[in-house]
Structure formats: C-alpha cells, structure tokens
Amino acid sequence: MIQPAFDPFGEPVPAVVPSTSPVRASKWLKSAGVSLFWGLVGVIVLARAVFFEPGDLSFERAVAWTQSLLASL
C-alpha cells in the first residue's frame, strides 16, 4: 500500500499518475531545440571564421575549396 504524502501544512497531497504523451512531446522538443541551438552555434562560428579572419580562411579560399570538393565528386 502506498503511503499518503502530506504538504508542509498537513494536508494530504493527491497521487499523480504520470501520462506518457506529454513526456514524448517534451523529449522531442528538447532534442529539436538542442539540435537547433548547436547548429546555429556552428553556423555562427563558421561565419565568423570566414568573414572576420580573412588571413587564414578567406571567402575566396573557402569557395575554391568547395568547388574542388564538388568537382571531385
């Protein structure tokens, strides 16, 4: 038998039956949000590398690398 739970004032707390559907949506939304966040972080870091550090990785060099990669496929 389950022991009844009481709040700090001595009132009984009703037992809650967990449902499965909100948890699934919550897990899906959490993984979608985490993926979106890290995807945006990657895009921002790559954009900063291309546009703000032209010495090591210039835009023209990135385009040339992409064209050579596509040509090799």
Instruction: Give me the mean pLDDT over the 14-41 stretch.
Output: 81
Sign for the CA dihedral angle at 40, 45, 50, 52 comes to positive
For 72, the token pair is 């090799």
- Whether 54 has a pLDDT exceeding 70, the answer reads no
Domain ranges of the chain: 24-72
- Whether 68 has a pLDDT exceeding 80, the answer reads yes
Instruction: Give me the mean pLDDT over the 19-41 stretch.
Output: 83
When pLDDT is cut at 50, 70 and 90, the band that residue 67 belongs to is very high
Continuous segment of H or E residues that includes residue 17: none
Amino acid 39: pLDDT: 96
- Whether 7 has a pLDDT exceeding 80, the answer reads yes
Is the separation of the CB atoms in 13 and 5 below 8 Å? yes
> What is the C-alpha to C-alpha distance for residues 50 and 53, in angstroms, rounded to an integer?
6
